[in-house]
Chain A
């Protein structure tokens, strides 16, 4: 089991490592202008510098704070709403067209108006994250509730569960695998939206770090930032979101 996991990780990393090797050869061989694309040592140096002077931590901290807050708020609103839509056809029929419309806009289309409402910075970006996560979690929660067998709801009711107990004991845990999928997918979109929003509407964060480096032709900072953005997402997804999703689906799935 353990060796299979290591093998899996190696298989995943190998193509990325190969890309770095090619990069390490191509840049010096063709004497690429550092204002077009940086060399491997320059990027490593930029990375070390940003770690030592604390700017990386500052940017990552700012970005992560926004992601966590935006996601938590979105999930807190989206899950009850999705469950309500799952048990009431009336609510679902009324809200579905609205959600359809606004889910198209989710993401950076909200930035102009969000900056007018919340000003540049934290609030506007959290709002963008919220939008990215919210709609997809609503849909997945709705889907999750609809996959709960009617017999489970009937069983709970005949054992004496009232409305609140039905929500906490059956609908919420029953929809959890789909909610996990929704959060994972939504965060994937929100992460992309975050970087875009940070380029426009703030003065700290990973997106801002990239954007400001451009003004000084610091391609090594830009590329380092891109590597951080990609790596951070892969770590969050592989170490946090995917295992959570898998754990819920494994326990629940076999029974369905």
Chain B
């Protein structure tokens, strides 16, 4: 796992209707040390997904630098694993082959990558679904596959773009519990984008609040781990911190 560093990152769009440049993000600086989990929250349109897409290399940035382990980012790469809101599983591949896709791209032989995929599926309690196709699984199961597919490729940084926004509330809490457990086991460096404040606080070491294209606040989360909803849902420190972040987001 490596550090992720954003230095004076900016993004400007050319607005076709107005015929002028429009600044979506300006001067975003953010350091995520190796093995730290950082959530980015903010209202719709604040540019949080734009940050993730630039870090992933899906869209170019206009200014500043993105460094992974000190190396500048140029386009998408296997050093940055991505978990998508829409899951983005390959519908024509079994669950096993979806998870084994990253290793396959590295040239890992079939038997070996199946073994890797099975190990990661077991971690998410998905061993029984290995031979299923994505459309045969519930949304929650699909996103578990999405998470382990990214992890099985052993990325330096894990990027998660509102990964639990399209599953039902009950499943979402289970997935958050599981992600928290997996993070504690493996300690990946995570950049987690969400608009759900309790989710952001529950998972992260730090919560960054974004507003109109700049960083409004950077709030540490000193709540001890392991974290599970059964304990935290009535925890005063958690509730207080969540309310504090929520107030910041609403002021944004």
Contacts and interface: CB of A to CB of B under 8 A. Distances in A.
A160 B86 contact: no
B165 to A, nearest CB: 14
B101 A156 contact: yes
> Chain B contact residues (Cβ within 8 angstroms of A): what range?
20 to 34
A251 interface: yes
Contact of A159 (B75, B92, B101, B135): B101
B134 interface: yes
B149 A158 contact: no
Contact of B86 (A149, A157, A170, A173): A149
Given A149-B86, A170-B90, A255-B91, A160 B135 contact: no
A251 B80 contact: no
A151 interface: yes
Given A159-B153, A160-B105, A252 B92 contact: yes
B57 to A, nearest CB: 7
A160 B102 contact: yes
A26 interface: no
DSSP class of B's interface residues: helix, strand, loop or mixed?
A: loop
Contacts, number: 71
Nearest to A162: B105
A176 interface: yes
Contacts of B105: 159-162, 165
Given A251-B135, A255-B135, A157 B91 contact: no
- A-B interface, 10 closest residue pairs, ranked by CB to CB distance from nearest: A160-B78, A160-B105, A157-B76, A151-B88, A255-B91, A254-B135, A155-B88, A159-B102, A173-B92, A158-B82
Given A159-B149, A160-B105, A161-B101, 5 more contacts: A159-B78, A160-B106, A173-B90, A173-B92, A255-B134
Interface of B: 56-58, 75-78, 80-82, 84, 86, 88-92, 101-102, 105-106, 133-135, 149-150, 153
